[in-house]
A and B are shown apart, each in its own frame.
Chain A
């Protein structure tokens, strides 16, 4: 089946986006990315000296992966800072794709919704393809769409916590109300089952870093996430059965009188 992910007019087979930070080594990072089959990888210019960008062996190594690069603005706390970093990233990585991240709280790295909208407006005007990392607030998401974002990346939980989908009610609301918008669950995914759940709920993709990079075997964990994402997506496409209280045997129990069945149901 031809089930492609389309973001800003570009199509992808994989619905798993991964980060490139925190790995034990660049070699393990690259192997994990390969095994994950991801086609979009995020990377951060943070902490780099703007005056010294030529000849970075590490960046070259990441570029060789052939993936769509998604530079991020990790660590930025104001729209102005994010816009500057975005311009620098565009120049260095030769892409107008951008994961927009503006941190509003130092401890849990929660996105600043107000700064986010302001920066997104500016960056869209500058021609960036903005993928904002946002909270699961419907109104915020709408505002981001209003200023020209075509893809949204609501969090599952704060960055690096591995808590999974903390507010399923909000996430479900987003999915239902923004049914035409590509939604990627970004941050907070700690286990493959959580990634599968996000796709089962109809989210278009997931983005994660720590869960793979900090696993004891990152390469094996990358494979686990690849399978989970494929599985979750297949389940969504197949149509999940509805949850119900009454056990219903998959084999009809012909020998049981129907009033007894009714009695069983009453006892539930």
Chain B
């Protein structure tokens, strides 16, 4: 097929969803254009702020079962897709399937019990197979830096991906695959059309993954503020994502290969994009310090703030009409759900194109 006869697909929004979709569809003999309001080399969305955790079990406690089932599906897809992306780009994306560890301080022991109980409530007895209780000894073996903790849980199946490697790798592969990249281009979406300041452009299919950029087009779409910090420590080395359970202050710490650790994340019902608050930075820092006091001498390299796009049920939304698919609301589950959601959208695109032909 020549380029004139290829179906033309426009993707609006160059965040995680937009890039993954563009990548997947670019392998299907389609003519893809990716529109991004900002710059693709410096993603401004939640995908860059996030820590890249893929933790279906930890997230299930506060979510619906669908988050878990799609999370498991995504885990397997990430495993394949990260390998493919590495082959295609020659660069590592650092997908790590080393599980995650949950700990709580002595007086918050009930948080671990409660966590297990909630998992059992939602998964039945199979929860037990996926969660391994840790005592001081087994914990120290798994995560030597957490030697002051007496108990914890090991969630063997969980994973994470280094989004600061993945997103540039995706961009590289999109270029290689001939995807047309149109940055600094703010657009609106309509069935079969991309609306630009200077006029409309026609496409066979439009996919809107603009996140909060689509506010007003998706009912109840809101931003949920999140704040993270990036620290660097030579003394404390974690092997895998660690979560601290506490009645009020939740913390995760995700170690990167370069000695940095991403810690987060607050969750505030507000679309406030201003810098991190003193309160939040104190809470995150003191929770981190309580993991291991040697973190006190870690250096704060960066703080990041963003708003996660979410709908009122905090579940992803896919709206499908002929010529326009809108995908949004991945909330705090971007990396956990994106592959499964992208798969669904791929199928919808294929169906729509069949109808056109």
Q: Spell out A's residues near B (CB within 8 Å).
A: 24-28, 30, 47-49, 51-52, 55-59, 61, 160, 216
Contacts and interface: CB of A to CB of B under 8 A. Distances in A.
Q: Determine chain B's interface SS by DSSP, over half rule.
A: loop
B318 to A, nearest CB: 17
A41 B253 CA distance: 35
Interface in B261-275: 266, 268-272, 274
A56 B271 contact: yes
Contacts of A25: 312-315
Given A216-B118, A216-B121, A216-B122, A56 B270 contact: yes
B136 to A, nearest CB: 23
A24 B62 contact: yes
Contact of A47 (B63, B221, B268): B268
B272 A48 contact: yes
Nearest to A216: B121
Contacts of B313: 25-28
Interface residue range, chain B: 20 to 34
B220 interface: yes
Contact of B272 (A26, A28, A52, A59): A52
Nearest to B64: A24
A49 B312 contact: no
A92 B221 CA distance: 21
22 contacts: A26-B222, A26-B312, A26-B313, A26-B314, A28-B313, A48-B269, A48-B270, A49-B270, A49-B274, A49-B277, A52-B271, A52-B274, A56-B270, A57-B220, A57-B221, A57-B222, A57-B223, A57-B271, A58-B270, A59-B269, A160-B247, A216-B121
A74 B188 CA distance: 41
Interface string B267-291: 0111110100101100000000000
B121 A55 contact: no
B312 A47 contact: no
Given A25-B315, A49-B277, A216-B121, 17 more contacts: A24-B63, A24-B314, A26-B220, A26-B222, A27-B313, A47-B270, A47-B277, A48-B268, A48-B269, A48-B272, A52-B274, A56-B271, A57-B220, A57-B271, A58-B222, A58-B269, A216-B118
Contact of A61 (B62, B272, B277, B312): B312
A47 B223 CA distance: 15
Contacts of A51: 274
A55 B63 contact: no
A26 B314 CA distance: 8
Contacts of B121: 216
B282 to A, nearest CB: 12
A57 B216 CA distance: 11
Interface string B311-330: 01111000000000000000
Contacts of A28: 313
A14 B220 CA distance: 28
Contacts of A61: 220, 312
A30 B312 CA distance: 10
A163 B169 CA distance: 52
Contacts of A48: 268-270, 272
Nearest to A20: B269
A160 B272 CA distance: 28
Contacts of A160: 247
Contacts of A49: 270, 272, 274, 277
Nearest to B314: A25
A48 B225 CA distance: 10
Contact of B269 (A52, A56, A216): A56
Contacts of B122: 216
Q: 10 closest Cβ contacts across the A-B interface?
A: A25-B314, A57-B222, A27-B313, A58-B269, A27-B312, A52-B272, A49-B272, A26-B312, A216-B121, A25-B313
